[in-house]
Amino acid sequence: MTKRLLGDVGADEQPFEETTPAKRLTVTWSARTAGFVKLALFVAPLMILAVAAWKYRWMSDDAFINLRVVKQLVGGHGPVFNPGERVEASTSPLWTYLLAAADLVTPLRLEWIAVILGIGLTLAGVAMAMAGSAVLCRGEVLAPVGAIVLVVLAPMWKFASGGLETGLSFAWLGASLWILASWSRRHDPIAPWGAVVLGLGPLIRPDLALFSVGFVGLVVVSEWSGGWRTIMRALLYAAALPVAYQVFRMGYYASLAPNPAIAKEAARSYWSPGWTYLRKTVMPYGLWLPLGILGAAAYVPLVVQLRRDIRRRALATVLVFGVGGLIHALYIVRVGGDFMNARLLMPSLFAVVAPVAVVPVRKQFLGALLVVPWAVLALVALRSVDDQPRAFDKSTTNAVTLAQFGWGPNGRYRAQFARPGVYFTGNLLPARAKAGEPSLVVAGYGIGEVGYAFRDAYVLDLLGLADPFTAHLQLKHRGIVAHEKPLPAPWIVARLTASEPALQASDFPPQGFALAIDEPGGVPFADRVASARSALDCGTLRDFFAEYRSPLTVGRFLGNLGASFSNWNFRIPPEPRTAHERLCRR
Read off φ and ψ for residue 490, nearest 5 degrees.
-60, -35
310: left (phi over 0), alpha (psi -120 to 50) or beta: left
In terms of DSSP H, where are the helices of 185-337?
A: 192-198, 201-204, 209-222, 228-253, 259-263, 271-282, 288-294, 300-308, 312-334
Kindly tell me if the per-residue pLDDT of 79 is higher than 60. Answer: yes
Q: Average pLDDT of 448-453?
A: 95
Residue 21: predicted pLDDT: 56
CA 418 vs CA 186, 406, 413: distances in Å:
64, 14, 10
Q: What is the 3-state secondary structure (H, E, C) of 90-140?
A: CCCHHHHHHHHHHHHHCCCCHHHHHHHHHHHHHHHHHHHHHHHHHHHHCCC
Q: What is the 3-state secondary structure (H, E, C) of 529-582?
A: HHHHHHHHCCHHHHHHHHHHHCCCCHHHHHHHHHHHHHHHHCCECCCHHHHHHH
Q: Average pLDDT of 93-99?
A: 98
Q: Which of these, 273, 250, 262, lies nearest to 344 by C-alpha position?
A: 273
Helix or strand run (H / E) with residue 22: helix 21-55
The 8 Å CB, 24+ separation contacts for 577-584 are 577/520, 577/523, 577/527, 577/528, 577/531, 579/531, 579/532, 579/535, 580/531, 580/532, 580/534, 580/535, 580/538, 583/535, 583/538, 583/540, 583/541, 584/534, 584/535, 584/538, 584/540
Q: What angle do CA 74, 77, 83 make, to 5 degrees?
A: 130
Cα 37 from chain centre: 34
In terms of DSSP H, where are the helices of 467-538?
A: 468-471, 489-496, 525-536
Q: For residue 12, name the pLDDT band (cuts at 50, 70, 90).
A: very low
Q: For 24-33, 164-173, 348-357, 397-406, which range has the lowest pLDDT when averaged over its residues?
A: 24-33
What is the share, in percent, of the chain residues with pLDDT greater than 90? 77
Q: For residue 20, name the pLDDT band (cuts at 50, 70, 90).
A: low
482: left (phi over 0), alpha (psi -120 to 50) or beta: left
More confident position, 162 or 30: 162
Q: For residue 523, name the pLDDT band (cuts at 50, 70, 90).
A: confident
Q: What angle do CA 297, 301, 307 make, to 5 degrees?
A: 160
**In whole angstroms, what is the distance from residue 201 CA to residue 168 CA?**
10
Residue 468: predicted pLDDT: 97
Q: For residue 5, name the pLDDT band (cuts at 50, 70, 90).
A: very low
Residue 16: predicted pLDDT: 41
Q: Which amino acid is at 125?
A: G
Residues near 47 by beta carbon (within 8 Å), at least 6 away in sequence: none
Neighbours of 314 (CB within 10 A): 25
Q: What is the CA radius of gyration of the chain?
A: 28
Residue 156: predicted pLDDT: 96
User: pLDDT by residue (tens digit) across 313-331?
Assistant: 999 999 999 999 999 999 9
Residue 333: predicted pLDDT: 97
Helix or strand run (H / E) with residue 440: strand 440-444
Inter-residue contact 83 to 72 (CB < 8 Å): yes
Residue 88: predicted pLDDT: 97
Q: Average pLDDT of 562-567?
A: 96
Kindly tell me if the per-residue pLDDT of 170 is higher than 80. Answer: yes
SS3 state at 214: helix
Kindly tell me if the per-residue pLDDT of 338 is higher than 50. Answer: yes
Kindly tell me if the per-residue pLDDT of 252 is higher than 50. Answer: yes
Half-sphere exposure (CA, 13 Å, Cβ side) for 354? Answer: 39
Kindly tell me if the per-residue pLDDT of 14 is higher than 50. Answer: no
Q: Which of these, 402, 405, 412, 378, lies nearest to 390 by C-alpha position?
A: 405
**In whole angstroms, what is the distance from residue 40 CA to residue 35 CA?**
9
Q: Average pLDDT, whole number, for the chain? A: 90
Q: Which of these, 335, 261, 254, lies nearest to 91 by C-alpha position?
A: 261
Q: For 10-19, 368-377, 492-501, which range has the lowest pLDDT when averaged over its residues?
A: 10-19
**In whole angstroms, what is the distance from residue 62 CA to residue 346 CA?**
18
Q: Which amino acid is at 218?
A: L
Q: What is the dihedral of CA 96, 101, 102, 104, to 10 degrees?
A: 120
| Partner residues linked to 460 by β-bridges | 443
User: pLDDT by residue (tens digit) across 478-496?
Assistant: 888 888 899 999 999 999 9
Q: Which of these, 488, 509, 483, lies nearest to 62 by C-alpha position?
A: 483
Q: For residue 536, name the pLDDT band (cuts at 50, 70, 90).
A: very high
Residues in the chain: 586
**In whole angstroms, what is the distance from residue 506 CA to residue 209 CA?**
46
Q: For residue 514, name the pLDDT band (cuts at 50, 70, 90).
A: low
More confident position, 4 or 430: 430
Helices (H) and strands (E) in the chain, counts: 26, 6
- Which pTM was predicted? 0.92
Residue 37: predicted pLDDT: 76
Q: Which amino acid is at 545?
A: F
Residue 321: predicted pLDDT: 98
Q: For 108-112, 184-188, 511-515, which range has the lowest pLDDT when averaged over its residues?
A: 511-515
**In whole angstroms, what is the distance from residue 533 CA to residue 407 CA?**
34
Q: What is the 3-state secondary structure (H, E, C) of 318-344?
A: HHHHHHHHHHHHHHHHHCCCCCCCCHH
Residue 519: predicted pLDDT: 67
What is the share, in percent, of the chain residues with pLDDT greater than 70? 91
Kindly tell me if the per-residue pLDDT of 11 is higher than 50. Answer: no
